[in-house]
Amino acid sequence: MTSAVSGEPSDVLDEEHAKGRGERTAATLAPVRRAVVFDLDGVIVDSFAVMNEAFALAYKEVVGEGPAPFDEYRRHLGRYFPDIMRIMGLPLEMEEPFVRESYRLAPKVPVFEGVVELLLTLRVRGIKLAVATGKSGPRARSLLEQLGLLPFFAHVLGSDEVPRPKPAPDIVEHALRLLGVRADEALMVGDAPTDLASAQGAGVAAIAALWAVDDADELLAARPDAVLRRPADLLDLCPPVPGA
């Protein structure tokens, strides 16, 4: 099948398969989209190198010498840091040095190519924007402010600011309430299965971002409504809001 997003095979779920599951495909994303909720790491910013460095330093400080299991940590991204530590069986005390080093290294985090242009175009088109991240809210807002991106977003929400973090739908539902839009008027863009699960639980179209994904199989297995290979592909799903 050919994608309605990028023209490449397998970029959008097979329509008949999706209809059988009551899902939306790109062809049925026709309702006016008034808002986009973004994940942060791996979607807006390429933070993995900095994250790796902060994780290694925190591991050495709390656990001791030896290779830090960052590859395993990365498989759980999208979740709140303490939840990842519990899943991995690592000390919760790693959070303090990890957060400390993340703040220190934040100026080294690059923005993905094409993201600034995407945010500018969405704003011109009248689309409301928010961030829903596994990071804490203060750390996410601090990073976006340092990068000059914070003004693009009406709201930036962290996992510490909702009762249940991803993969629960709470953070996406909270974003919708703050933005004043219905679930069928919004899209959620993420690079991890937890992002898509949170969107799907909230009744929001779940969009997979592949520009920072090394192995897309797990993400595609989460059955996104559409798949994007570069930031600009999102514009096909977000035409100008009438009267904006």
- Per residue, what are the HEC states of the chain? CECCCCCCECCCCCHHHHHHCCCCCHHHCCCCCCEEEECCECCCECCHHHHHHHHHHHHHHHCCCCCCCHHHHHHCECECHHHHHHHHCCCHHHHHHHHHHHHHHHHHCCECCCHHHHHHHHHHCCCEEEEEECCCHHHHHHHHHHCCCHHHCCEEEEHHHCCCCCCCCHHHHHHHHHHCCCHHHEEEEECCHHHHHHHHHCCCEEEEECCCCCCCHHHHHCCCCEEECCHHHHHHHCCCCCCC
- Tell me if residue 236 is catalytic: no
79: pLDDT strictly greater than 80: yes
Catalytic residue among 39, 46, 170, 225: 39
Q: What is the mean pLDDT of residues 33-51?
A: 96
pLDDT score, position 214: 84
Q: What is the mean pLDDT of residues 104-119?
A: 97
Q: Tell me which of 13-17, 25-29, 150-154, 213-217 is least confident.
A: 13-17
11: pLDDT confidence band, cut at 50, 70 and 90?
low
pLDDT score, position 30: 60
Q: What is the mean pLDDT of residues 70-99?
A: 93
- Tell me if residue 41 is catalytic: yes
Q: What are phi and psi of 20, to 5 degrees?
A: -65, -25
| CA 63 to each of CA 58, 60, 68, 85, 174: distance values in angstroms, whole numbers, following the listed order | 8, 6, 9, 12, 36
Question: How large a percentage of the chain has pLDDT more than 70?
Answer: 88
29: pLDDT strictly greater than 70: no
25: pLDDT strictly greater than 70: no
243: pLDDT confidence band, cut at 50, 70 and 90?
confident
pLDDT score, position 20: 37
Catalytic residue among 11, 14, 41, 46: 41
- Name the pTM for this structure: 0.85
Average pLDDT, the chain: 89
pLDDT score, position 159: 95
CB 77 within 8 A of CB 192: yes
Q: What is the mean pLDDT of residues 66-92?
A: 93
Q: What is the mean pLDDT of residues 194-212?
A: 97
22: pLDDT strictly greater than 80: no
Q: What is the mean pLDDT of residues 173-189?
A: 98
Question: How large a percentage of the chain has pLDDT more than 90?
Answer: 83
**CATH of segment(s) 15-45+110-237:** 3.40.50.1000
63: pLDDT strictly greater than 60: yes
pLDDT score, position 244: 75
CB 29 within 8 A of CB 225: yes
Q: What is the mean pLDDT of residues 56-77?
A: 94
Residues in the chain: 244
DSSP bridge pairs for 196 = none
Cα dihedral 177/173/136/45 (nearest 10): -100
17: pLDDT strictly greater than 50: no
pLDDT score, position 81: 93
pLDDT score, position 31: 77
Alpha-carbon gap, residue 123 to 129, rounded angstroms: 8
